[in-house]
């Protein structure tokens, strides 16, 4: 089994799931246009649509506490001129990479080089 760093898990699994939740929150709850959300996230409008339809963003489900943090980040992102100027808090704030590393199926798939399949 090869070494898998938490940052790898974050970039392959957690970040797409965070983008998915941000897109859902901003479009479904805050009623912000997909075009505006896509510009703030730095992705295409089609990618936002895929996040909303669960075709992108993986299958990781966040707990209520993490969802609240994601909503706060989304609100900060919308208020910021830069977009995600505070995005690196994910490494510190969420337990997701450690939960994924503790899951033998996920850890083995990542070590085997199949990790992008889960994104």
The domain segmentation of the chain, as residue ranges, is 6-118
User: What's the distance, Cα to Cα, between the start and end of the chain in Å?
Assistant: 20
Higher pLDDT, 100 or 73: 73
Q: How far is residue 86's CA from residue 76's CA, in Å, rounded to a whole number?
A: 9
Q: What is the DSSP string of 26-62?
A: IIIIS---HHHHHHHHTS-HHHHHHHHTTSSS-S---
Give the rounded percent of residues in the chain with a pLDDT score beyond 70.
67
For tokens 């085997």, what's the residue?
A: 112
pLDDT digits (tens, 9 = 90+) for 34-67: 999 999 998 999 999 999 999 999 888 899 998 9
């Amino acid at each position: 089994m090869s070494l898998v760093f938490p940052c790898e898990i974050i970039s392959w699994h957690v970040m797409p799931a965070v983008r998915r939740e941000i897109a859902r929150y901003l479009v479904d709850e805050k009623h912000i246009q997909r075009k505006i959300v896509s510009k703030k996230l730095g992705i295409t409008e089609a990618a936002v649509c895929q996040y909303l339809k669960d075709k992108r963003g993986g299958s990781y489900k966040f707990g209520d506490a993490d969802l609240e943090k994601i909503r706060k980040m989304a609100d900060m992102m919308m208020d910021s001129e830069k977009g995600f100027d505070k995005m690196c808090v994910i490494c510190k704030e969420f337990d997701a990479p450690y939960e994924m590393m503790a899951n033998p199926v996920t850890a083995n798939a990542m070590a085997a080089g199949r990790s992008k399949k889960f994104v």
